[in-house]
Amino acid sequence: MKTRIIMLAVASALTILPFVKDSGAKPGGLMANADSLEAMVRFLSIDPSTSQPRSRYAYRESELREVADSLVARLERYTGVTATRQSWVEDEDHDSTFTVENIICRVEADGPSSGVLLVTAHFDAIAHRSFPGEWETAWVHAAAPGADDNATGVAAVMEVARLLSSVDLPFDVEFVLFTAEELGKLGSIHYVSLCDAGCADRHLGVINADMIGYSNNRTGASVMSDFRSGWLAEMIIDFAAIADPGLDMRLIKPGPSNWDHAAFWDREAGRLPAITLAEPLGPTGSIEYPDYHTEDDLMANVDFDQTRRIASLITGFIASFSGAPAENSMLETDLLVLVNGAIRNENVFQTGEMISLRPRVRNTGGTPPPTGATVRLDVWLENATGRKQIYSGELAPADPLRFSHTDIPLGTGSGLGGGNVVTAEITVSGMEDDPADNRTSVYFVMEGAGSPLENHHFSPNPINTSFQLAKFCVNATEEINYSMEIYSLEGHLLGNARMGRGYGTPVPTGLSCHSCGDMFPGIRDLASGIYLYRLIVFGEDGSSTDHHGRFAVER
């Protein structure tokens, strides 16, 4: 996507200067204040009347209400907007009833709005890991300070609200503080349950901040996403690469289901895009912070520089849309492969499943497209049968952060066996355009489509370099083992190879290529001419099939 740079004027009043294309300079952005973040974490984790760790456990209603009162007052002061307190009585699957509430503060766009972007965090805490098997009674007196989990996320949301107060945006921004996340995402689930069709139509996405303060000596951020939300994760990771290149970003996709983002993914009436920004996590989203959910989750464990950088990242990313020209982009994550009409978390499918493509052309800028602007979309499919164009047509450019799309049916597997590459490209007219984000590709695999082997070939063919540098490629519909023999035209055996997991070199489903030098170390070179080869392919069920081919050598 086009990189937009915000310059922050050094003045008492915050001034946003025009956006410029990336010239290699680092953007100034809107920087979060470490002292403000630390003050908020201190307030949330320490009882000001005793200077001791406090509890924000959801059952401690009066204490959590005092915290909520302060958060509401500060949000209203930062934004100039009256906050809504979404309260309800929770009694399902719990020992007793208790009243919980979400805090909602929507700042509307000054002009036409393309929708609503949510910035969220949960403000409750728990310390059950300090009292194994005893938390059911210990919560009455135990501290649950939750400095990292999740005072840091709340502090970031509050700082984003403060910093964005003077920024004109093309969409509404709704700040939401959920409660009872530690009891099973109760706050976010309740919020999502009230999101009807009109709410969903206005919904652009969610940026959730949760546990952003533990660095474990490797400052960075984890981004948890699913395939429907991939575009938002891709955009914020791309922005981070320019705004804060030293911040190590890790994408976790699909993310775990026990964070507030999952309430939006699991919405019964249709999934909604949402991502969570967190501290460095394990590869699958496992928490590395040793003191989470304990009484020892204290300020001393919080890396406030990392917290500041993540809060600044969220702020700068959202502010980057202010005044940015419309930009139609073909993001990698907006080229989707659907199975039976649904997005899957993997791109390996079975014959018989209905496959279709959904290319989405997104406006990654901050203004509506000019009148008369058009976008032409062309899509190609390449696999063992060759390369062919499967779509060409015009789409109406969308408003900021929204997309135009079309669905392209591919059928149930005929001609799709093995690996498939889909390429989508847009041609924009009537508006400015950055060609760097106009083309993208996606790869998917179809298993069980007839023979275990769809295609096999040498690359290049003819081989016009050393044989050792050439490659042999197979396009398989399942993981296979195979033996291969190379012959001269006179029938002399020149070399043989065995490939597959059974021989120590796995040949996975889809397209895979191996070096001829590794496969045939005994063949140093070949004279110009035509050569024959034979493959015996062993399927997962123990069956075998014979395949033959030829290749040329030009010296």
**Can you tell me the distance from the alpha carbon of 479 to that of 481, in angstroms, rounded to the nearest whole number?**
7
| The predicted structure's pLDDT at residue 450 | 62
pLDDT confidence tier of residue 2, bands split at 50, 70 and 90 = very low
pTM: 0.81
Residue 17 has pLDDT above 70, yes or no: no
- In CATH, what number does 34-319 get? 3.40.630.10
For range 338-343, the mean pLDDT: 86
**Can you tell me the distance from the alpha carbon of 153 to that of 473, in angstroms, rounded to the nearest whole number?**
48
Q: Domain 328-447: which topology? A: Immunoglobulin-like (2.60.40)
Q: Is 2.60.40.1220 the CATH number for 453-553?
A: yes
Domain range annotation of the chain: 34-319, 328-447, 453-553
Tell me if domain 328-447 and domain 453-553 are identical in fold: yes
42 Cβ contact partners less than 8 Å away, ≥ 6 residues apart = 299
Contact 244, 313 (CB under 8 A): yes
String of DSSP letters for 470-532: -EEEEEESS-BEEEEEEEETT--EEEEEEEBGGGTB-B-SEEEEEEHHHH-TT-----SEEEE
Question: Would you call the peptide bond into 462 cis, given omega within 30 degrees of 0 as the criterion?
Answer: yes
The continuous run of DSSP H or E covering 409 comes out as strand 408-411
Angle between helices 304-319 and 152-163 (to 10 degrees): 40
- Residue-wise pLDDT tens digits, 173-225: 999 999 999 999 999 999 999 999 999 999 999 999 999 999 988 899 999 99
Q: How far are the Cα atoms of 48, 97, 179, 211 from residue 136, in angstroms, in the given order?
A: 26, 14, 19, 24
- The closest of 167, 176, 166, 224 to 203, measured between CA atoms, is 176
- Residue-wise pLDDT tens digits, 475-507: 887 888 999 999 998 888 899 999 998 899 988
Residue 368 has pLDDT above 90, yes or no: yes
- The closest of 151, 154, 131 to 143, measured between CA atoms, is 131
Q: Tokens standing for 307?
A: 């917290």
Residue with tokens 């390369």: 387
DSSP letter for 253, please. Answer: S
Contact 361, 328 (CB under 8 A): yes
